[in-house]
Every structure is written in C-alpha cells, then in structure tokens.
C-alpha cells in the first residue's frame, strides 16, 4: 500500500490474542452471562450461546470497538468491530496501541488486507491466518486526529449502507405480506370461498394453467453452446429469479435461427423454471427480439390477453410455491425434481377479472420500485465506500477535502472519542 503517511509493521502496533472456547456455555443471558461471539454473532448481531460469569476469568473478552478477525476457516482474515462478548476460539482480538493507532482506523486497514490474509493462510486441514503475515503488514500511521476523522467517516458510510440494506429487507417483507393478503382477499372486499389452492375472493375463477396459457419448453443445447460472444443469446434457469430476470451473464449458442422455431421471446412472456427451484417465475419485459431460452425453462403466453396478465401469474406462482405452499410436491418424482410441461399445465391458478389483476400488479410494482431504489442506493454507497477506503487510508485524499453532508450523522454506529 503506497502511502503519503509513514508506515510501520502492524505487529509492532497491536497485540494479537486468540479466542478460547469456555468449558461451559448456556443459552440465555441470565445471571450476567455475556454473548459467545462467533462470526455469525458479528454478522447478524444475535447471540445463540452465552458464557456464565464463573467462566469469564478463563476467556478473552472483546472490548467494544476493538477489531476482531476470523482466524480459522475459509473466511480467515475477515474483520469485524468488537462487542462486549467472549471471543470464540476461531477468532482473534487485535488490540491497537491506543497512543499510536486508533481502533476504527485499524479495523478499516484490516478490511483492505483481507485478500492478502486469506490468500496467505496456513494449515493443511483447517486454514488459519498466518501470524507472521499479519504482523508484517505495513500500516499507514497518520496523526491520531486524522485517523479518527477517517474512521468516523468510513463508519458513517458503513452505517448508511446498512440502513439501505435494512430498508430493502423491510420493504421486501412488506411485499410478501401484501402478496399473501392480495391473493387471499383481493381488492373488492368480497366474501371468500375455499378452493383447492386455499381461500380466494368469491368471484375469482380457479382454472388449470394449461387452459389459460400456451406453454412451450425451450431449446435443447445439444452441444451447441458457444464459448465466446458470437451465436444466439439464450436464457437459463440461472437467469430467472422470483419476479425478475438477471442479464448480468447471458449464454449463447450456435444454432440456425430456423431451428428456434416459436421459441423466440416476446415482451410480456412469462418464464417458469422446470428445474432447480421449480416454479421460479419472471416476466421478460424487454422490447427486443433475437433471444431465446433453454429447455429447462417453460415459456407461458396467454391464450387470451383479455383473460390473464403474466405479471399477475408470476406473482401468484411465488405465492403458490413459496408462501402458501399449495404446490408442494408439484415436481415429477425423479432423482432431480423437475416441473414438466404436463405437470405445470395441470396446476390450478386463480383468475380474477383482468382489471383486478392489473390493479394487483400495479400495487406490487410500486413496492418493487421501492425495493429497487434501496438496492440502488446501497450499491452507490458501496461503490463510494470502496473508492474512499483506499484513498483515505493512504492519504491520497483527506477528509477535509470531502463534502458528504448528505450522509446522516445519526446513522453512525461508532464515533471515535
């Protein structure tokens, strides 16, 4: 790491203490027991086990704010901010010399060193951080006041990212609740009736999917896969998620266009996974031609556009497969479960009027836009964090040169003293 600041070996500025597993653990915090801090504890903030007070004298307790590393395992080198907890035996406490090195600054430096520490692990059975590699890392040492400014700003960014992640998760749960409500009660305040797919509004029809949609299975690869950027693009099951299609990686195949036949996608087509997570469904919303799909996907196209809306049907399939579980056992009984065309065609689905279908889709689309907004904000903040992390740590830019007033200081979880 090239730095305008002077650098020193990390081992000269920190004390490294490996965690120890207590002889006895309990499952609640009664009697002053404190959390047993594994990597999962730091990731999700929930303690599953606690250490009773009579065991604490034999343990390594992490001070709040002090960096801790995963020492053993495939994620060796990953760093967290310490809490008041007993450190697990698979982790290590990194305690800085506080007259020279601020805890938060040390934590963020260790974030930049993850790849070096993880790639340099030792041990043939269980990989673990090399203490020599860790101690030899050259850490920039700006004045303490600058370290505190840097860590305060980076913590603020981390907090803002966490806020967007939480908001996306909360909005996603709101969507799930809305879907359960909408597909049970509808929008017209009608009485309900019991059906083979569960309670639905009284006026809704229940019909087999094959009576509502043309179902066409995709193209078999038959060793026609392209290894480059030439050929016909096609979608796989790995492109289809619940409610959206991911085009970050699109495969291609060598096949005459005439061999595709009727399997070209049109805007509004519904794709349903035959294999993997069977039933996973999303609508092809792009207005472009020249793309097809593999034989592990079914393409559904309404027989009558005045009867069925594909986005409504995609949402129902998510409810039916994931929430209500009315399609449990829908796959054919083979070694690898699959949803054949015949089996998909006979599954029952609800059919309100096309107007009510569109209104339900509009509600769910509005929630989706909110989820996507939080995801995009999170992505922008993550990119900003990555860009600033290296430049601030090395002194390439200074905190005083930045205007990040848009970040709400109330989201900062750690403020250096």
* Average pLDDT over all residues of the chain: 92
d(CA 393, CA 151): 9
Share of the chain above pLDDT 90, in %: 83
In which band, very low, low, confident or very high, does the pLDDT at 97 lie, cut at 50, 70 and 90? very high
Q: What pTM was estimated for this model as a whole?
A: 0.83
Tokens of 158: 């981390």
Q: What is the pLDDT of residues 173-192, one digit of tens each?
A: 999 999 999 999 999 999 99
What's the pLDDT score for residue 259? 87
d(CA 83, CA 75): 19
Find where tokens 């597993």 sit: 21
d(CA 342, CA 327): 14
In which band, very low, low, confident or very high, does the pLDDT at 401 lie, cut at 50, 70 and 90? confident
What's the pLDDT score for residue 289? 86
d(CA 78, CA 310): 44
> Which of 92, 77, 60 shows the shortest CA–CA distance to 137?
77
Tokens of 312: 């409504």
Strands of the sheet with 213-217, listed across from one edge: 213-217, 297-302, 270-273, 281-283
In which band, very low, low, confident or very high, does the pLDDT at 415 lie, cut at 50, 70 and 90? very low
What's the pLDDT score for residue 206? 98
Share of the chain above pLDDT 70, in %: 96
d(CA 59, CA 19): 7
Tokens of 335: 């070694």
Domains of the chain: 7-141 (3.90.220.20), 143-194+353-417 (1.10.287.1120), 205-351 (3.90.220.20)
Distances from the Cα of 342 to the Cαs of 77, 166, 272, 338, 339, in angstroms? 50, 41, 13, 11, 8
Strand 85-87 with 34-37, pairing: parallel
d(CA 321, CA 119): 41
Average pLDDT of span 349-374: 97
Tokens of 25: 């653990």
User: H/E/C letters for each residue in the chain?
Assistant: CCCCCCEEEHHHCEEEEECCCCCCCECCCHHHCEEEECHHHHHHCCCCCEECHHHHHHCCEECCCCEEEECECCCCCCEEECCCEEECCCEEEEEECCCCCCHHHHHHHHHHCHHHHHHCCECCCCCECCHHHHHHCEEECCCHHHHHHHHHHHHHHHHHHHHHHHHHHHHHHHHHHHHHHHHHHCCCCCCEECCCCCCEECCCEEEEHHHHEEEEECECCCCCECCCCCCEEEECHHHEECCEECCCCCEEECCCHHHHCCCCCCCCCEEEECCCCCCCEEECCCCCCCCEEECCEEEEEECCCCCCCHHHHHHHHHHHHHHCCCCCCCCECCCCCECCHHHHHHCEEEECCHHHHHHHHHHHHHHHHHHHHHHHHHHHHHHHHHHHHHHHHHCCCCHHHCCCCCCCHHHCCCCCC
Distances from the Cα of 50 to the Cαs of 27, 90, 164, in angstroms? 6, 16, 30
Q: What is the pLDDT of residues 25-46, one digit of tens each?
A: 999 998 889 999 999 999 998 9
What's the pLDDT score for residue 335? 60
Tokens of 287: 């207005």
The Cβ of residue 125 has, within 10 Å, a number of other Cβ atoms equal to 5
Q: What is the pLDDT of residues 202-255, one digit of tens each?
A: 999 999 999 999 999 999 877 778 877 789 999 999 999 999 999 999 999 988
Average pLDDT of span 292-313: 96
Is the pLDDT score of 407 beyond 80? no
CB 399 within 8 A of CB 148: no
Is the pLDDT score of 417 beyond 50? no
Is the pLDDT score of 404 beyond 80? no
Is the pLDDT score of 409 beyond 90? no
In which band, very low, low, confident or very high, does the pLDDT at 337 lie, cut at 50, 70 and 90? confident
Average pLDDT of span 145-171: 96
Find where tokens 């900003």 sit: 384
CB 273 within 8 A of CB 237: yes
What's the pLDDT score for residue 410? 42
């Amino acid at each position: 790491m090239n730095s305008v600041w002077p650098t020193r070996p990390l081992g000269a500025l920190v004390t490294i203490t490996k965690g120890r597993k207590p002889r006895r653990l309990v499952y609640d915090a009664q009697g002053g027991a404190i959390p047993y801090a594994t990597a999962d504890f730091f990731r999700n903030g929930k303690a599953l086990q606690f250490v009773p007070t009579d065991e604490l004298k034999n343990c390594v307790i992490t001070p709040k704010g002090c960096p801790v590393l995963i020492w053993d395992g495939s994620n060796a080198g990953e760093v967290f901010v310490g809490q008041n907890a007993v450190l697990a035996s698979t982790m290590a406490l990194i305690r800085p010399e506080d007259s020279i090195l601020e805890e938060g600054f040390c934590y963020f430096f260790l974030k930049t060193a993850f790849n070096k520490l993880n790639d340099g692990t030792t041990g043939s059975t269980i990989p673990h951080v090399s203490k020599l590699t860790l101690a030899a890392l050259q850490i920039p040492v700006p004045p303490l006041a600058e370290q505190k400014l840097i860590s305060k700003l980076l913590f603020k960014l981390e907090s803002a990212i966490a806020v967007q992640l939480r908001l996306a998760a909360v909005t996603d749960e709101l969507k799930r609740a809305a879907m359960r409500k909408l597909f049970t009660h509808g929008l017209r305040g009608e009485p309900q009736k019991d059906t083979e797919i569960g309670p639905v509004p009284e006026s809704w029809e229940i019909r087999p999917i094959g009576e509502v949609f043309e179902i066409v299975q995709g193209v078999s690869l038959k060793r026609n896969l392209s290894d480059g950027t030439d050929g016909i693009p096609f979608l796989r099951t790995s492109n289809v998620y619940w409610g959206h299609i991911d085009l970050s990686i699109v495969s291609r195949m060598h096949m005459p266009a005439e061999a595709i036949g009727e399997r070209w996608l049109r805007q509004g087509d519904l794709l349903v996974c035959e294999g993997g997570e069977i039933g996973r469904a999303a609508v092809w919303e792009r207005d472009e031609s020249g793309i097809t799909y593999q034989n592990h996907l079914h393409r559904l196209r309404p027989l009558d556009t005045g009867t069925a809306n594909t986005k409504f049907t995609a949402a129902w399939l998510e409810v039916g497969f994931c929430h209500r579980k009315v399609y449990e056992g829908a796959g054919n009984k083979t070694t690898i479960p699959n949803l054949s065309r015949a089996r998909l065609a006979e599954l029952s689905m609800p059919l309100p009027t096309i107007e009510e279908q569109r209104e339900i889709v509009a509600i769910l689309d509005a929630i989706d836009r909110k989820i996507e907004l939080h995801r995009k904000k999170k992505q922008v903040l993550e990119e900003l964090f990555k860009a600033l992390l290296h430049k601030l740590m090395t002194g390439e830019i200074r905190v005083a040169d930045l205007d990040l007033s848009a970040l709400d200081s109330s989201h900062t979880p750690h403020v250096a003293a």
